[in-house]
Amino acid sequence: MKYIVFVALIGVTIAAPQGPTTEPVPILRQEQEVNFDGSYKWNYETGNSITAEEQGFLKNAGQPEQEAQVAQGQYKYTSPEGQVIELSYIADENGFQPVGAHLPTPPPIPAAIQKALDYLASLPSTESPQRR
């Protein structure tokens, strides 16, 4: 349920007028489908070139310990600076996983540090068994 509220907030934020405007932005296309098995899909397109779509389903339905809501979608809009922002995502038991060219990425690991990490990973474990 928290995820659905989060997605709704993102949709409202994205659909908000971009920049100073007093005219309402028309919705050119909007569809939604909710099925009895818990699966759903929705999409919309606005007059200021915002598009969004998502589909989801309940993974491992009927197995309470393994159930997980899965949602996958994408949206696109133009930033106030004129840059087209495109983001695709999946949200499941592993959390929200966005992908987009505008998202920051970590710098590569320097070769010397990677070599040290590889060496440390190759060493046998020195942990002693737990005492009773």
Instruction: Compare 6 and 43 and report the one with higher pLDDT.
Output: 43
Evaluate if residue 5 carries a pLDDT over 70: no
5, 8, 39, 90 from 35: Cα distances, Å: 19, 18, 5, 20
Evaluate if residue 93 carries a pLDDT over 90: no
Strand pairing class (40-46; 95-99): unpaired
Confidence at 9, pLDDT banded by 50, 70, 90: low
Instruction: Compare 105 and 74 and report the one with higher pLDDT.
Output: 74
Confidence at 17, pLDDT banded by 50, 70, 90: low
Per-residue model confidence as pLDDT tens digits over 53-83: 999 998 876 777 777 889 999 999 999 999 9
Confidence at 13, pLDDT banded by 50, 70, 90: low
Instruction: Compare 9 and 90 and report the one with higher pLDDT.
Output: 90
